Structure 1
Amino acid sequence: MTAPIETTKSAASAQPEEVLAGASGKQIEGRSLGRIAWTRLKRDKVAMAGGVVVVLLILVAILSKPIQAIFGLDPNAFHQSLVDPTLLAPKGAFGGISWHHPFGVEPQTGRDIFARILDGSWVSLLVAGGATMLSVCIGVVMGVVAGFYGGWVDSTISRVMDTFLAFPLLLFAISISATLQGKAFGLSGLTLRIAVLVFVIGFFNWPYMGRIVRAQTLSLREREFVEASRSLGARGVFILFRELLPNLVAPILVYATLLIPTNILFEASLSYLGVGIEPPQSSWGGMLNQATDLYQVDPMFMVIPGVAIFVTVLAFNLLGDGLRDALDPRGK
């Protein structure tokens, strides 16, 4: 009776590593917060569809010039032979849609609409992206400083934000864009127009980002990890860049994604009013402006740039909503 008892005792006294050695050779691997957020985002099919459309739009905008060169597209080439001289409407059905002109041609001028949509894509995304980066940079710096230091610093920056928010932004943008014509600051032509739009849209929109970052900073500065950094002798600048900013990446990324479509609409509005991108450079808002007087002749001339703006804004909004749910599921 002793042999079985000894066998049982030796098995019971075995080390856990020896017992688990043959169970599995795989180690348990932890997941980072970014990986967890990516897993949540992949489950959101609508957000992923919006992200795919956003990536495609960015690629089209970046490669618009090479695509035009490869297929021999010219957004400013006139094709009078494709326009009815009596009605000034494109020949054929649905605005002259054909294999060579998949979106048809413009009334009166006969310019290829597909080439102009392609050429206007990089303008809209460049202006919206540049303005968003400017708003994010200014808003993050001002919001973090105001929320972290508090006191008179917070009061001063908050009053500056209120002052900027009191500006009638659209009227201010129209006046600045209409004033800076020709040549200014060493820039001219299309470069000047894009720089003016980026400055006007980005510089006067930063208080929205600043308020969000300030509110998040006010919450984070009372957390335990900030107190631990202070107790170890860390100074304000170190805490700002090493403790607070990494924890603000999620709200900054989400709001930046939602700010881009707003800036796209703002640029399209200015171009529609005639104070944005000037011809002959095509822009989606400018195409809508031209279609205002010609939609009865060719409704497709208004529908196509409108759909381009709608799809772009919708895709960014869907991606932004998905990022918000993935990075902060408790905020649903």
Structure 2
Amino acid sequence: MAAPLDMSSTEAQPESVVTGMGKAIEGRSLGQIAWLRLKKDKWAMAGGVVVALLILGALASLILNAVGALRPDTYHPDLIDATYGRPVGAFGGISWAHPLGVDPSNGRDLLSRVLVGSQFSLLIAAGSTLVSVLIGVTMGLVAGFAGGWLDSAINWLMNVFLAFPLLLFAIALSGVVQQSAFGLSGNALHVAVLIFVIGFFNWPYIGRIVRGQTLSLREREFVDAARSLGARSGYILRRELLPNLLAPILVYTTLLIPTNILFEAALSFLGVGLHPPTPSWGGMLSDAVSNGSYSADPEYVLVPGLAIFLTVMAFNLLGDGLRDALDPRVR
């Protein structure tokens, strides 16, 4: 009789299998998957780089302005030709000391004014967006989760705010509040008024998005499981629904910021935003149009116009990229 075969010598051990396969396969989180998708979108990455540079430039200009390195309100009458009322030199007075030229009315440095104007544009846009997101997310969550008469009441309130003439109200309120109010004065007052007007009346847009998402999520199994375990409504809203809403909230936030930048620039262009001599992109456009300097040299319109265009385009590209990266249905 033949001896039984000994299979112990030919059986692969777990250690040898792992060693032969090389590096162990690791799972990827949803954040890692979204980041990999975002890195493939070159336009979104370019927009993110521009946004980062804008923020860094605004912070750097804030520091430089505080130490006196930037002088956006310093007049240089010696740089203006008294005969023709134009900057001395070619291309709007461009020189090493003034890389973008000077203001044709009083010789103020355009680069300094653009950099300081970016502080106020980004500050007002970020503050108003934060106000809109906080109110909109809260109202949308409550309306979508509670339903019934409360949902109807919040929906009615949203319709009222959406039908409100925001631009006319902003012009009227900014015109009434001039010197001091609410313990504030000067630039602080004007910035606070703009943040309140833009942010408080724009919350229904994100509120409707959050409400629609909440109506879908509240019927999911994980919400029913939390209810079956005795979780209260506040816990479900904070720990179950809100984390699942972070992706659409983040995307809409990046898309709302450029809208608020344009709105602030429009108010400053109409003369009801930041008051001079505080530089703002919309105010610079208004000055170029009012004194007719754009006809002599289009640079005075192109410089603040390009600043607004690049900022809005960068945020829009980043927002579109985030929307595609965070959407699980996109392959």
1:242-262 alpha-carbon deviations (Å, 9 max, x no partner): 000000000000000000000
2:244 maps to which residue? 247
SS of match in other structure, 1:10:
coil
Q: TM-score, normalised by structure 1?
A: 0.95
Distance in 1 separating the partners of 2:91 and 2:3: 94
Question: How far does residue 90 in structure 1 lie from its aligned partner after superposition?
Answer: 1.1
- Relative distance call for 1:107 and 1:12 in structure 2 (3 A) is same
| CA distance 1:298–1:24, change in 2 (3 Å) | same
Q: Distance in 2 between matches of 1:327 and 1:177?
A: 38
Match of 1:10 among 5, 8, 11: 8
Tell me the equivalent position of 1:74: 71
- Any unmatched runs of 5+ in structure 1? none
The residue type paired with residue 5 of structure 2 is I
Partner of 1:306: 305
Note if contact 1:107-1:298 (Cα within 8 Å) is conserved in structure 2: no
Partner in structure 2 of residue 233 of structure 1: 230
Deviations 1:144-180 (A, max 9, x none): 0000110111000000000101101100111111111
Letter of the aligned partner of 1:161 in structure 2? Answer: M
Q: Which amino acid is 2:314 matched to?
A: A
In the alignment, is the contact (CA less than 8 A) between 1:106 and 1:113 conserved in 2?
A: yes
Give the partner amino acid of 2:212.
Answer: A
**Counterpart selection for 2:180 from 174, 180, 183:** 183
Secondary structure at 2:265's aligned position in 1? helix
Question: Is 1:199 the counterpart of 2:204 in the alignment?
Answer: no
Q: Could you say which residue in structure 2 is the equivalent of 1:95?
A: 92
Counterparts of 1:209-228 in structure 2, within 5 Å, are 209-228=206-225
Q: 1:331 to 1:180 in 2, by over 3 A?
A: farther
Distance 1:290 1:2 in 2: 105
> Alignment partner of 1:155: what SS?
helix
Look up the match of 2:43: 46
- Of 131, 134, 138, the residue aligned with 1:134 is 131
What are the Cα deviations for residues 90-140 of structure 1, in whole angstroms up to 9, with x where unaligned? 121111111111100011211100010011010000000000000000000
Q: Kindly indicate whether the alpha-carbon contact (under 8 Å) linking 1:42 and 1:48 is maintained by their aligned counterparts in 2.
A: yes
**What one-letter code is carried by the residue in structure 2 that aligns with 1:160?**
L
Q: Which amino acid aligns with 2:236?
A: I
Residue 23 of structure 2 corresponds to residue 29 of structure 1:
no
Where 1:102 maps in the other structure, the secondary structure is coil
- The one-letter amino acid of 1:100's match is A
Corresponding residue number in structure 1 for 2:286: 289
- Paired residue total: 329
Q: 1:235 to 1:86 in 2, by over 3 A?
A: same
Corresponding position of 1:280: 277
The one-letter code of the counterpart of 1:36 is I
Question: What SS does the corresponding residue of 2:287 show, helix, strand or coil?
Answer: helix
Question: 1:306, CA displacement in angstroms?
Answer: 0.3
- Provide TM-score, normalisation by structure 2: 0.95
Q: Percent identity?
A: 65
